[in-house]
Structure 1
Amino acid sequence: MWLYLVTLLGLWTLLRLFRERQVVSHLQDKYVFITGCDSGFGNLLARQLDRRGMRVLAACLTENGAEELRKKTSDRLETVILDVTKTESIVAATEWVKVHVGNRGLWGLVNNAGISTPLGPSEWLNKEDFAKVLDVNLLGMIEVTLSMLPLVRKARGRVVNVSSIMGRVSFCGGGYCISKYGVEAFSDSLRRELSYFGVKVAIIEPGGFKTCVTSSDMLSSNVKMLWDQASSEVKEVYGKKFLLSYLAMIKSVEQMCSEDLSLVTDCMEHALTSCHPRTRYSAGWDAKLLFLPMSYLPTFLVDAVVYWTSMKPAKAL
């Protein structure tokens, strides 16, 4: 009995490995549009796909970011300035993409642009703080996708949305986790709708990685700013000990983050180039072995883990 089960499991694993190693043909003729290429995952993915010979259309927020990227890539790579929070910028970028792809359509759309701040205890924030993050990470992503969809559908291509393990387990207040839960929901519904047209949608769920949006110095400065802006009542209730504990938690989390961003960009590349891409990619061992299993645990256990690793130290100070 056990021998049959082990044999079936082995055959299934071999079949999966074989399927995942199959690569789509004529990659050098396929266009990929990537948002958020100034730095981090987007920047590395643009350079990675360019080295592979694909035609990369890289969207950067700043001209300086675009210029630095062009210096590190071939003449095939083209850049455009894009602010995903502004409709007119998205419309202009879409027209720019149409000119470049022509009748081929857009093979890949990678929604990578994102921010993490303002981030902190919810009571320290206001509605505008939540909206700032949602406008970039969720609403901006949705508008870019809707604008580019006709081009992707024409190529029967791929949409790759960058979520986070925080889209499964929420560890902090602010709009970041909310936006990533939204990315998961939007991507699921989009995948089911577009499967009719042969378009595949993949979700990338990175664990902890050291990027400019996860820098402990930047996050700590953000939390301190929120504390300074908080009302006297909030400061009295939470106290300085809570603030120090929260800052210590941010520092400890960054120390556990990986510096190898290729673990994420390799997942993105596979989603764009494999004949049989996965629906979800968990990037990083912390995502695979800690956060993903946690997302399936009973809620009271997850709450206990989060409390003892973040809130409990505040009471102990």
Structure 2
Amino acid sequence: MSCRERQNIIMWFWLLAFVGFYFLFRWYWYRQILQNLTDKYVFITGCDSGFGNLLARQLDEQGLRVLAACLTQRGTEQLKEATSQRLQTIILDVTDSENVAAAASWVKQQVGDRGLWGLVNNAGIGSPVAPNGWLTKNDFCKILNLNLVGMIDVTLSLLPLIRKSKGRIVNVSSIAGRISMIGGGYSISKYGVEAFSDSLRRELYSFGVKVCIIEPGAFKTQLTDPKYFDETIQQIWSRLPEETKENYGQASYDNYVKNIHIMVNVFSSKLTLVTDCMEHALTAVHPHTRYSVGWDAKLFYLPLSYLPTSLVDFLLRLMK
């Protein structure tokens, strides 16, 4: 063996050792969990079903003091039946500022001088989703008022309690907040969640508050029920002026409905992939800034978002 060959072997050995050490250190760094979790209060919005409901039950099992906000009385009753007496519920419509202010006052009474450790902004809707040319201003406002403006309202109302505890804010965005593939207000609202979270994280760093963003891929929840999509799209199409229908054509409507069904059928039902990331963001000593959840998010949508725009446009056209 020549001297040069030995040098190459040594170089590769140290390179592999460095890479191995890096991943070992990263694994150890991010797996450290906070102590005294049973003393910490977490407020979660959108707990009637889906991610919020599952997270509330999951954190309750871990012994945290969960304050769960549901939109309906039925949602609060069902959640209480499935959890311990530690969990407290409140009815909250995040689009109603008076309701948000009352909820913030209630949270303050619950947490007392401890402050609020965690806020999970999970409440949101995904519809109406349709080509932009089929929609009205009110269609966009319906989603933006809940997914973005309501989330901001809740966050600002509870911010003093979060600063007091040097706690965590966990905002549920979407991979649709990285790449816009469909019309309507959903992607717009999630892009806004990303922007608000980034500015908030940088602003609150000096207060010791961490802001984390959850970016799920495609998951099956009540909001992605195919029947709900069918009814909504049918209503949108039926109200369109005849001129608009003629311009787009019946085939465009049929193709859109077909593509929606294809997308929904491949959605993942493993909601714990998302709630586990939420839990880590709340309980880890060193949480991630962003959690891209699901193999579709990690291997397709996220890489796609880094490609040149013209190439992304071409690839998305091929998928239609």
What is the 5 A alignment of 1:224-243? 224-243=234-253
Query: Do structure 1's residue 302 and structure 2's residue 315 form an aligned pair?
Result: no
Tell me the TM-score normalized by structure 1. 0.97
Partner of 1:192: 202
Give the superposition deviation at 1:219: 1.3
One-letter code of the match for 1:109?
Answer: L
Tell me the TM-score normalized by structure 2. 0.96
Query: Do structure 1's residue 73 and structure 2's residue 83 form an aligned pair?
Result: yes
What is the 5 A alignment of 1:149-160? 149-160=159-170
Q: How far, CA to CA, are the matches of 1:143 and 1:242 in structure 2? A: 38
What is the 5 A alignment of 1:24-63? 24-63=34-73
Q: How far, CA to CA, are the matches of 2:20 and 2:231 in structure 1? A: 50
Partner of 2:296: 286
Q: How far, CA to CA, are the matches of 1:2 and 1:147 in structure 2? A: 54
Partner of 1:2: 12
RMSD of aligned C-alpha atoms? 0.7
One-letter code of the match for 1:264?
Answer: V
Question: How big is each residue's C-alpha offset from its partner over 1:129-168, in whole Å with a ceiling of 9 and x where there is no partner?
Answer: 1000000000000000000000001000000000000001
Deviates more, 1:196-205 or 1:297-306: 297-306
Where does structure 1 lack aligned partners over 5 or more consecutive residues? Answer: 311-317
Give the superposition deviation at 1:8: 1.5
Report which of the two structures shows the higher radius of gyration computed on alpha carbons: 2
Query: Do structure 1's residue 17 and structure 2's residue 27 form an aligned pair?
Result: yes
Question: How big is each residue's C-alpha offset from its partner over 1:90-121, in whole Å with a ceiling of 9 and x where there is no partner?
Answer: 00000000000000000000000000111100
Give the superposition deviation at 1:4: 2.5
Partner of 2:192: 182
Question: How big is each residue's C-alpha offset from its partner over 1:247-286, in whole Å with a ceiling of 9 and x where there is no partner?
Answer: 0110010111100100000000000000000000011111
Identity of aligned residues (%): 60
Runs (4 or more) in structure 1 with deviation over 3 Å come to none
Partner of 1:246: 256
Query: Do structure 1's residue 219 and structure 2's residue 239 form an aligned pair?
Result: no
2:213 to 203, 207, 230: 203
Give the aligned length. Answer: 310
Deviates more, 1:298-307 or 1:54-63: 298-307
Give the superposition deviation at 1:3: 2.8
Question: How big is each residue's C-alpha offset from its partner over 1:193-240, in whole Å with a ceiling of 9 and x where there is no partner?
Answer: 001000000000000000011112211211111100111111001111
Partner of 1:115: 125
Q: Secondary structure at the match of 2:183?
A: coil
Q: How far, CA to CA, are the matches of 1:255 and 1:300 in structure 2? A: 28
Deviates more, 1:216-225 or 1:150-159: 216-225
Q: Secondary structure at the match of 2:190?
A: helix
Give the superposition deviation at 1:308: 1.5
Q: Secondary structure at the match of 2:249?
A: helix
Give the superposition deviation at 1:301: 1.6
Q: How far, CA to CA, are the matches of 2:116 and 2:266 in structure 1? A: 37
Q: Secondary structure at the match of 1:59?
A: strand
Q: How far, CA to CA, are the matches of 2:173 and 2:15 in structure 1? A: 35
